[in-house]
Amino acid sequence: MDTNRGATPENDYLAAHTDVVKRVLDRQPADEYLYDLAELFKVFGDSTRIRILYALFESELCVGDMAQLLSLSPSAVSHQLKILKDAKLVKFRRDGKIIFYALDDDHVRTILSMGMEHVEE
């Protein structure tokens, strides 16, 4: 019985495309940037935060508006907004005693749009 059928020695895999591997490695961002990118995507991994971002996609809102809109407590909204602010996904402005939140920039809008386009395919 041939136990090697279809098998290729490990060295063949390593040596076959060293030029491609080197080129890809040379173009990889620094590990710290890859770590930061992974952390950013973790923030998108919570449906409550996604709901908040989509609400802000439509309009600038205060915590009370978001709490009512999303059927959440103001403290739950505030907790999630802190995470979104720390990730630089939302910004805020004060108008008297009220703080209004908005998407930080067009990059956030693009990420949301592209993500939705991908899941709707």
* Domain spans of the chain, in order of start: 15-120
Q: Is the pTM of this model over 0.85?
A: no
Q: Please identify which residue in the block is written with the tokens 């592209």.
A: 114
Fold that domain 15-120 belongs to in CATH? Arc Repressor Mutant, subunit A (1.10.10)
In this predicted structure, what is the pLDDT of residue 9?
A: 57
Q: How far is 39 from 15, CA to CA, in rounded Å? A: 34
Residue 67 confidence (pLDDT): 98
Both tokens assigned to 90: 């939302």
Interstrand relation of 61-62 and 90-95 (parallel, antiparallel or unpaired): unpaired
Amino acid letter, residue 95? D
Question: CA–CA separation, 113 vs 54, rounded Å?
Answer: 10
